[in-house]
Copies of this chain bind each other. A is one copy, B any other.
Amino acid sequence: MSTIEDVAKLAGLSRTTVSRVLNNHPYVSEEKRKLVIEAMEHLGYVPNSSARSLRNRKTGIIAVLIPKISTPFFSQLIERLEIAASEKNYQLIICQTQYSDKKERTYLDLLKTKQVDGVIMTSCENDWKIIDAHLDYGPIVLCNEIIENVEVPMVFMNQMKSGYTIAKHLIESGHRKIAYCTNGTDKVTLQARETGFKRALAEAGLSIHREDYFQHVSSISDGKNIFHQLYHNCNSPTAIFTGSDSVAAGIISEAKRHGWVIPQDLAVVGFDNMEITELMDPMITTVIQPVETMAAKAIDVIVDKIHKKQYRSRETHEFTATLAIRESTLVNSKLVATS
């Protein structure tokens, strides 16, 4: 492993000059620059990033905290974050919290130990008081998560609009008894979605019946279970918003096995535009999240914060989803922006 010193010696110059060439500083004569470059090539010199990090007080690494990588939405998000980061010459460390507050805290410490320049959180398991303390050490950006009254940038999709648009679509398709699924009401994002959904219903003089409201629903098997509840309900709804493509697929798959015809017997709406939505028969009406745009913005914002060295500031960066209307709610499919 050759060092900057070796290069300097071989070129017959000082470490400073070599460093200047390395960092494209002005005030280096063409002549010496060539000498340095030759020496570097001859030695196969590459700067040591630990030394640079120590000296410059920056690592060029961003940590991404994510509950579970293999969840299709999250893997798409990571994919886009990686692309955006690499365009700005940042590396991404991937940290799987597995929805554990303890792991989340451990990973946030990467900021304290200066192993990373910033953290992107795609969900939040701890009390904000705990997270907030970490802002003394570096920037934190929320991507795909909203928390009220906190001083960090947040990048997210307007869930209220998408909830509203979905309900509106179902109402316009003639449905009057509509079921709703959610994975919880503790997240601001999910609350907003529900609020938008209910608003559209209210505007049409409708509401969600008690027996048509399902909580803590997220997997394929949850979907299958829900179908069975509907199946045994003599006054079952004519449409259901599932909040998740997996749940939608589970419901549809089970419904078909029991002889139901979708959407005639039950219209189904998913969420996230996973691959299955176009593979199922019928293809599933779903919400396309602007993953690429959100990822690019999150990286933009955090890189900006890193440079400005100003970590506390409330900013909201809001994007709009698209409703992809497919066979599970209609015969003819089309695209509709939720705006």
Contact = CB atoms under 8 A, between A and B. Distances in A.
Given A47-B113, A109-B46, A69 B75 contact: yes
Interface string A76-103: 1011001100100001111110000000
A234 interface: no
Interface in A208-252: 220, 246, 249-250
Given A69-B75, A70-B72, A48 B113 contact: yes
A279 B93 contact: no
Contacts of A95: 82, 86, 91
A275 to B, nearest CB: 7
Interface in A108-157: 109-110, 112-115, 137
30 contacts: A46-B109, A47-B113, A48-B113, A48-B114, A49-B113, A49-B115, A50-B50, A50-B59, A50-B114, A50-B115, A68-B79, A69-B78, A70-B72, A70-B76, A79-B96, A82-B94, A91-B95, A91-B110, A91-B115, A93-B93, A93-B94, A220-B279, A246-B275, A249-B279, A253-B279, A253-B280, A253-B281, A256-B281, A275-B276, A279-B279
**10 nearest A-B pairs in the assembled complex, by CB-CB distance:** A75-B75, A50-B53, A50-B54, A69-B79, A49-B115, A46-B112, A70-B79, A49-B113, A70-B75, A249-B279
